[in-house]
Amino acid sequence: MTDRREGAREADETLELLQEVIDSPAIALRLEEVGRVVEVGLGIAIVTGLDHVLADEMVLFASGGAGIVSDLEPGRLGVILLRPAEGLAAGEDVYRTRKVVSAPVGDGLLGRVVDAVGRPLDEKGPLGATLSAPVEARAPAILERSMVSRPLATGIKVIDAAIPIGRGQRQLIIGDRQTGKTSIAVDTMLNQAGSGVICIYCAIGQRGDAVARVIGALGDGGMMDQSIVMSASSEDAPGLSFIAPYAATSMAEHFLAQGRDVLLVYDDLTRHARAYRELSLLLRRPPGREAFPGDIFYVHARLLERAGQLSAVRGGGSLTALPVIETQAENLSGYIPTNLISITDGQVYLSPRLVQKGQFPAVDTGKSVSRVGGKAQSPAFRAIAGDLRVTLSQFEELENFARFGTRLDENTRARLKRGKAVRAAMRQPERDPVPAPGQLAILLAVMDGLMDDVDESRFPAVMDAIRAAVVSGSGGVAERILSGAPFGEDDRETLLALAREAIMSVERKDNDRDI
């Protein structure tokens, strides 16, 4: 009797369980495609079997690697690898992810060194609380932007005075090797200390020691906690070098959406273009000029168009881009340089001829231009440095003419002396950005002729003395300059008086030392 009751209870439980299964929602079935690797190259793989995969979708390999679907052809997929091809073999299974490549974004990245997909490289442990964002994003529409109207101070006298950069501008840094392109970018980042500007340095194809020097400079300048360093070295897969600037831009856009100001340095887009050319040739795309693929212009245009000054409706943040590009033998008409010159809002050209003369930073004001930064320049700079470019260009013409040994009148000799003083005042050591009030005092002194008779060997001491005098005794002029207030005649006389006293103090010290 007991066995019959237990059997009936078990039958009831079974019926209840079956009823629950029947009443529960049906499990959705998903068709899982599995592809196969048929060919492996240096940085790419050819895959078959994924008929429904989408362009730019990320796929995973059975060996643990990942890649981006770049070419969609009937029966053949070209995949850009995000890891070295070692360990990947033909016949390996490939799986869809139904996702695009993403990068971590958020405040947890500040002070960290990461690779192109956000993996930490600085041995400080895992990243803090971060979100994820696709590396590709739509550029802001025209109606979502506003005019570039706020200056981005670089701390470099010749740039802030003659080639000003505004927040939201795309300013190209261009020149031959070893002319100081990276130094200008890093000094600009160091000058953002205390400004609230978030800085991101994206190293593309750089050596590890070069990136380490940048990290050391940011740490010494107190800017590392306000910066993110992304490194896609020459030893990594070329696919990482290709997506690195897009991932860095996505990181910057996270802060941009919060209404913050961001400075993003791409160092450099020459290596980025070469990495994309390498991948395109391996994928058997038809080559064009200099073997670059036909869409190389679009590759850089869709990247740099994401920079800009947003309107108040979008939060009013700005993303300033400083792409770096390398020329060969001063050839500005090369394919990649001309592309980027046409995309950006101006360029800072560094001349190897000025490097040979010992003029650092080697900025050629004749070939450099800022198409929108002048509208963001402060009134004080416009009042003092408005004639700087003309003065330097006229001096260079006179200097070339004077080499013929022609007799010069008194007026011409005076203009040559003034030009030499102005050029010497534009010299500036690395990692020493100058605040705007100090720059203006030096520019005012040299343009007004106070430094015409100063020996060039004494210029560094004189400029340091002027900077110190402005900090200690400007009487509120420095604050008005930094606030963007109009520059009046009283402010001018105050700075000139400080400059005269500083020059005289240096001369007195030198005379006492000689005695």
Q: Which residues are tagged catalytic? A: 371
387, two tokens: 């004639």
Please choose, from the candidates 49, 52, 58, the residue with its C-alpha nearest in 3D space to the C-alpha of residue 97.
58
* Rounded Cα distance, 103 and 114, in Å: 10
Distances in whole angstroms, Cα of residue 5 to Cα of each of 15, 18, 379: 15, 20, 98
- Note whether 128 and 118 are within 8 A (CB): no
* 146, β-bridge pairs: none
The CA dihedral of 368, 372, 377, 379, to the nearest 10 degrees, is 120
Q: Beta strand 261-267 with 318-326: parallel, antiparallel or unpaired?
A: parallel
* Rounded Cα distance, 282 and 313, in Å: 45
* Rounded Cα distance, 386 and 152, in Å: 18
Region class of 441: left (phi > 0), else alpha (psi between -120 and 50), else beta: alpha
User: Rounded to the nearest 5°, which phi and psi values hold at 91?
Assistant: 95, -5
* Rounded Cα distance, 368 and 162, in Å: 9
* Rounded Cα distance, 258 and 411, in Å: 56
Mapped onto helix, strand or coil, the DSSP state of residue 294 is: coil
Burial class of residue 396 (count of CB atoms within 10 Å of its CB; 0-12, 13-18, 19+) = middle
Please choose, from the candidates 243, 190, 157, the residue with its C-alpha nearest in 3D space to the C-alpha of residue 428.
157
* Rounded Cα distance, 8 and 53, in Å: 53
* Terminal C-alpha separation, the chain: 126
Which residues fall within 8 angstroms of residue 14, CB to CB, at 6 or more apart? none
User: Rounded to the nearest 5°, which phi and psi values hold at 481?
Assistant: -65, -45
The alpha carbon dihedral of 327, 330, 335, 339 has a sign of: positive
Mapped onto helix, strand or coil, the DSSP state of residue 37 is: strand
Q: Per this entry, what is the length of the chain?
A: 515
* Rounded Cα distance, 28 and 31, in Å: 10
For residue 268, whether the previous peptide bond is cis, meaning omega lies within 30 degrees of 0, is yes
